[in-house]
Amino acid sequence: MLNLKNLVDYKDEILKAEIFSYFALYKKIKAGGGPNKVNQAEIFENLKNITDFDTKKYLEDMTKDIKINILEKDLKAWNNFLENPREWRKRTDIVYLLQVLYGISESLNSGIDKGSPNKEAKVEPKDKKWISNAFGGYKKEIIYLSNSPYEIKYLIENIENKFNMIDFNNISFENYYNFRNALYSLFSNLLSDDRYPINDITLWDQAYMSTSMFKASLANYILTNDQINSLPERTSVKWRILGIQYDKLGLAEKGFKPAHIDWYRNISKEIDDEIKKILELKYPIGNEVYRDETGIYFIVGEDLGKDLEDNKSNLAILKDDLKEIKEEILQIFEKKSLDEFYPAIFLTKASRGLMNLTYLLESARENFLKADWSKKESDIRLENSESERAKGICQICKQRLVFESDKRDEDKNVCETCYKEKTKGRVDKWVENTADKTIWTAELKDKNDRLALVVMKFELMDWLNGDLLSSMLIRKEDFFTKNSVIMSLINKYKELSDTGLNLLVKEIKNNNYKDIIEKFIDLFDEGIQEILKDILDGLKKLSTVLTQDKDELKSTFWESIDLILSSINKNKNDWINALQEFANGEEIKFKNNKITNFQKFKENQDFVNFIKLSFAFGFTMMQIYNVLFERSIGDRWEKFIYKALGDWDEQNKKPLKNKIDFENRKINWEKLDEKDIDFLATILLQFLLRKNPSPARIRRIWESTQEFFKEIEEKLLDVANIPNSRRIRLYWEWKNEDINYEGEAVYNNLEFWIEKKKCYLITYDPELIEKKLKGENKELTLKLENDETVNLKLQDAKTEYYKPYMSIIDPTPISWQFIIPAEYVQNLIKNTQTLYDEYFKYVYGKLPLHIGVIIQDYKQPLYVGINALRKIRRDVKGREKLWEKIEVKDFKKIFNDKLKEEKTEEKENQDKNNSNNPKEYYSLYFGDLSNEDYKFYISPKDDKEYLLKSIDKLQADEKIKYIPNTFDFEFLDTSIRRNDIYYEESENCKRKADLKVNRPYNIEKHFNTFEKFKEAFKEGSSSSKLHNIINIFYEKASAEEELDDGTKKFLASVIINTLEPEKSEKVKTFIQNWLGFEDKDLTHQEIEKSISKEKIKMFIDMFEFWHKALKEV
């Protein structure tokens, strides 16, 4: 049972502990030397005076008098928490609860996140350290290089100031978030580690995720206990993801006008922010870890959820003890959505990582149908009014009634609530800042009255679930040599299980164990290597461990001994008895994990080696357990490993646990056969070498893609090459005139909005703007809705700049949807690809960007286009069908073009350290390879091993699998045309409509051809030729039979005689590019050989794109 009263009573104490936990890594801010040099910056000598203060003394002075009361126990913020936080593993006293919970969280997050990169592989140049995104691309230099010492000093002082403003007896929303934002400003611009390739990890990444996990586990502890009885075991702490899910894309589809869409977009953000306050502060159960078009997600403790009995779902629900929290969430939706929509609330099953977030994301559409409508008022009878009879249902909310009195010229069939909140309310907000994005479709139309509704979408799911992280490395190794080492070690464990302690006796005689163990431990971080080295390479540390009560390695030593003994069902007495054989008749005095007379035996080589070997075997086994269980328990990999070992009961859908037991963290080595050993060695080495899906890394992945979309939004006018002249709006001000009218007005085909003594032209009219700029005059007589008129003079108009685009949804990690004038689509696609190459060039083919464009007349209802836009997102269930094969020589040509966008910092990093080649870490590909550098399991969904190589080592005659960047389009000349947007979930997921089966197109391969089409036919003379040939192409493309030789001859003649390429170099170049023989002369025979139905359909698509949709040819 969960005690919610405890959570409420100790709310401020949880938040106090959270706030202090951010300082656990504060020493990493130093810009100078010392033991921690990750943010060393030589550029400013006086910078060191600012950052290199004694952080330990600083924190002690700040916290020494502060206590944190948890379950009626006062825990000292300094002595029991922040002082020596690395010592948490040694703690046994309950006063160290906070330190232990934080240590568990930080060590798990950091250990999986950083892994064990080569200690020599430092980010270069050393005096110009920089931060990368999650995919290896340059992001920014550390703040000590980009900002002045004065600014740095301000940031550090601001953290202290915001901290001092917090009233720890009543922590307010404002002070809490101000403090976190102050930390973020500094921490997010500093490295957590300067080894390559983990320079994507900022200090904020490490601090925020460690603290969020700590906060969730502390809240979980308080909910499940009434007093502190014991400290939690490291392996027992798990987390869930709590999702508040609702369909933000579906809300956008309700909008008839931009103002309606804008309302839904803003109200979704307000809802998410209110939920965030509830779950992070009022009921502090965790922190936000993800937000997108499906909802908002938080990391919480294991005990908050109750697993659903359906094994297929991998989901859970909030326990009934937390219904008060659920009620408050539903009340937010009731109030903010005007009782219009509600969420589904689910959790994932418990795990030790964040990989299971995708369980919620992948089931989002299904979960939307399970929304909790318990607070919904359901009475919508048409007779539901005492004053008048209802006339129908509102066309926006589709829930409230519309009465005769509600009907207006500009908003027919819209209820009073939707008009007040979503039309008039949004216009009022627009008037407050008219220089921002427009909310008027007439301002978004292009010269041909067309709008372009655009969706940009990443296929991100296989990154968020961790699968494709197996195609990136944390360190480079000779895979097969290291694999052999691990297999040898596992075979030793198996032999040990069969022979017991006799194996240790045998091993110390031939002394061949040390080489294998050292080669294995070399795969781990320096700290792990030093522990082994301390014990194996000398007597001093071993003597201290065996004879003293306190030593930092003592607990690790005996845990290792216990582990090796438990694996063979022995205990310490058995071990001492075996050791006694080497004591030359002298009795070993053993008590309380001490050999008190060890000094008598230290010159006895066999005696000492037996102890060292026992420790070495146990210590290496501990590392294997940590790697295997920490990085797979509670996730899809756990089930995959059970199945791969033949340890799964298929009938009852549960593990047999004969060979491996995740729950009890044990491997029965004696039951492994040769195939099992090979599999375990492979999966262990994969987990050690790949970039692992830690909570922080998953967060960085989606932050990287979201930052990409946000940069496009911030620079959209430049990305789409929308000129300043297109940003001009005319408006008139009335100071003395007695005009109190507010609302729409029209003049011919021009629309105006009048409010607060201002009249805005809300239709883009380049001719009228040009006349104004030239100083010409014109009389405009506006007709108002009340049939009155207003006269305007063009010479009295003023000009202002606005942003001619509109967001349908805010940028999320997965997608962004927006509207721009259609004529700028070409620029948008080209320049978006350039920005993509800057961000993601090293993972091209593994992180595909899909761009879908819907083009429609600006007078068409927006909901029609938005509905079509949702379809053209290409949300397919079978994502594996998106992968296609490409010859390496063709792929390298594309890839090398993208490398032209390499930044100076990326090049210097490689030039100064040959081992820092990003392609060897990020650009690994799999497919039909003749040999390999690595052999990994990419996804637990299939049991196939994939051969992988870096791009530089791929051979020209090999083929790899990749997903290209794609674009698709549809021109909605009629509303029914949106039904043509349907993707066949077969190979490559192309469109199903016969004439459109080439869509979507590969941007890198085909968009250049599209552009050459425009260049060839944009002039009038060429355009007429185009119309002469298109009807023939439609006929041949629609025919059931394939093109025979006679038809090909005929089409070749038509192309040459109609398009006359000999008269136009642009037409000639286009034909060669379109038919794929740029390196050959354009002849009748070459056209015959190259023409096909696929090429004809592509020609038709180019015609529809440039002529029908955009009217450019």
pLDDT in tens, 276-327: 999 999 999 999 999 999 999 999 999 999 999 876 678 999 999 999 999 9
CB 214, CB 102: distance < 8 Å: yes
Give 794's contacts (C-beta < 8 A, 6+ positions apart). 730, 768, 771, 772, 776, 777, 778, 779, 780
- Residue written as tokens 């805005």? 760
Output the six-digit token pair for 510.
């031939």
Quick one: what percent of the chain has pLDDT higher than 90?
77
In this structure, are 561 and 680 located in the same domain?
yes
Let me know whether 38 and 187 are in one domain.
yes
**What single-letter DSSP state applies at residue 411?**
S
Cα dihedral 143, 147, 152, 154 sign: negative
| pLDDT of amino acid 513 | 74
Range 539-544 average pLDDT: 90
User: What SS3 class is residue 44?
Assistant: coil
Q: Is residue 1025 over pLDDT 90?
A: no
Q: Are residues 1022 and 920 part of one domain?
A: no
Confidence of residue 913 (pLDDT cuts 50, 70, 90): confident
Residues 6+ away with beta carbon under 8 Å from 229: 94
- Rounded average pLDDT over 602-630: 93
**Is pLDDT at 406 greater than 80 in this prediction?**
no
Calculate the average pLDDT of the chain: 92
Which band of pLDDT confidence, cut at 50, 70 and 90, is reported for residue 827?
very high
Q: pLDDT tens digits, residue range 373-392?
A: 999 986 555 445 555 677 78
Angle at 820 between CA 815 and CA 826, to 5 degrees: 85
Question: For residue 388, what pLDDT is reported?
Answer: 66
**Which of 689, 718, 744 is the endpoint of a domain?**
689
pLDDT confidence of residue 312? 67
Q: What is the model's pTM?
A: 0.94
Whether the pLDDT of residue 1022 is over 90: the answer is no
Domain final residue, candidates 322, 343, 368: 368
Same domain, 195 and 244: no
With vertex at residue 679, the alpha carbon angle to CA 673 and CA 684, rounded to the nearest 5 degrees, is 125
pLDDT per residue as tens digits for the range 756-767: 889 999 999 999
In angstroms, the CA 238 to CA 99 distance is: 17
Reported as a single tens digit per residue, the pLDDT across 954-983 is 999 999 999 999 999 999 999 999 999 999
Residue 417 has pLDDT above 50, yes or no: yes
Cα 972 from Cα 979, distance rounded (Å):
10
Domain enclosing residue 1031, as ranges: 1001-1109
Asked whether residue 1042 is domain-assigned, the answer is: yes
**Higher model confidence: residue 695 or residue 644?**
644
601/1008 Cα distance (integer angstroms): 79
Q: Does 991 map to a domain?
A: no
Three-state secondary-structure class, residue 744: strand
Closest by Cα among 252, 727, 289, 723 to 455? 252
Residue 800 lies in a domain: no
H or E, element range at 677: helix 674-689
What's the pLDDT band for 988 if we cut at 50, 70, 90? Answer: confident
Band of pLDDT at residue 353, cut at 50, 70 and 90: low
Are residues 361 and 248 part of one domain?
yes
* pLDDT score recorded for residue 695: 85
**How large is the C-alpha radius of gyration of the chain?**
34
Cβ-contact 915, 120 below 8 angstroms: yes
Please tell me the distance from the alpha carbon of residue 323 to that of residue 580, in angstroms, as a whole number.
Answer: 61
Task: Tell me, yes or no, whether 188 and 289 share the same domain.
Answer: no
In a domain, 1037, yes or no: yes
Residues 970 and 1005 in one domain: no
Question: Residue 978: what pLDDT?
Answer: 93
Predicted confidence (pLDDT) per residue in 681-703, tens digit: 999 999 999 999 988 899 999 99
* Rounded alpha-carbon distances, angstroms, from residue 1047 to 90, 1028, 1085: 83, 17, 13
- CA nearest to 667, candidates 689, 647, 640, 690: 647
- Please identify, among 224, 250, 277, the residue that sits at the C-terminal boundary of a domain: 224
Q: Is the pLDDT of residue 163 over 80?
A: yes
Write out pLDDT tens, residues 808-824. 999 999 999 999 999 99
Whether residues 215 and 243 share a domain: the answer is no
Tell me if 444 is assigned to some domain: no
In degrees and rounded to multiples of 5, residue 399 shows phi and psi of: -135, -45
Do residue 217 and residue 255 come from a single domain?
A: no
Q: Are residues 218 and 243 in the same domain?
A: no
Q: Is residue 272 part of a domain?
A: yes
- Average the pLDDT over each of 32-46, 246-260, 911-925, 941-955 and give the range with the smallest value: 32-46
H or E segment at 935? strand 934-937
39 lies in the same domain as 184:
yes
**Same domain, residue pair 1015 and 962:** no
| Residues pairing with 484 in the sheet | none
Decide: 423 and 406 in contact? Cβ < 8 Å: no
Residue 383's pLDDT is what? 47
Q: What is the pLDDT of residues 424-446, one digit of tens each?
A: 888 999 999 999 999 999 999 99
Q: 199-238 burial by CB neighbour count: b if 16+ within 10 A, else e?
A: bbbbbbbbbbbbbbbbbbbbbbbbbeeeebeebeeebebb
In a domain, 758, yes or no: no
User: Using alpha carbons only, what angle is made at residue 234 by residues 231 and 236, rounded to the nearest 5 degrees?
Assistant: 90
Q: Average pLDDT of 872-877?
A: 92
**How confident is the model over 588-593, as a mean pLDDT?**
92
Residue 891 lies in a domain: yes
Q: How many domains does the chain have?
A: 5
Look up tokens 């609860």; give the residue: 97
- Highest mean pLDDT among 142-146, 401-405, 547-551, 854-858 belongs to 854-858
Determine the average pLDDT of the residues in 32-57: 74
Q: How confident is the model at residue 622 (pLDDT cuts 50, 70, 90)?
A: very high
Alpha-carbon span 876 to 968, nearest angstrom: 15
Looking at residue 313, which CATH number applies to its domain?
3.30.70
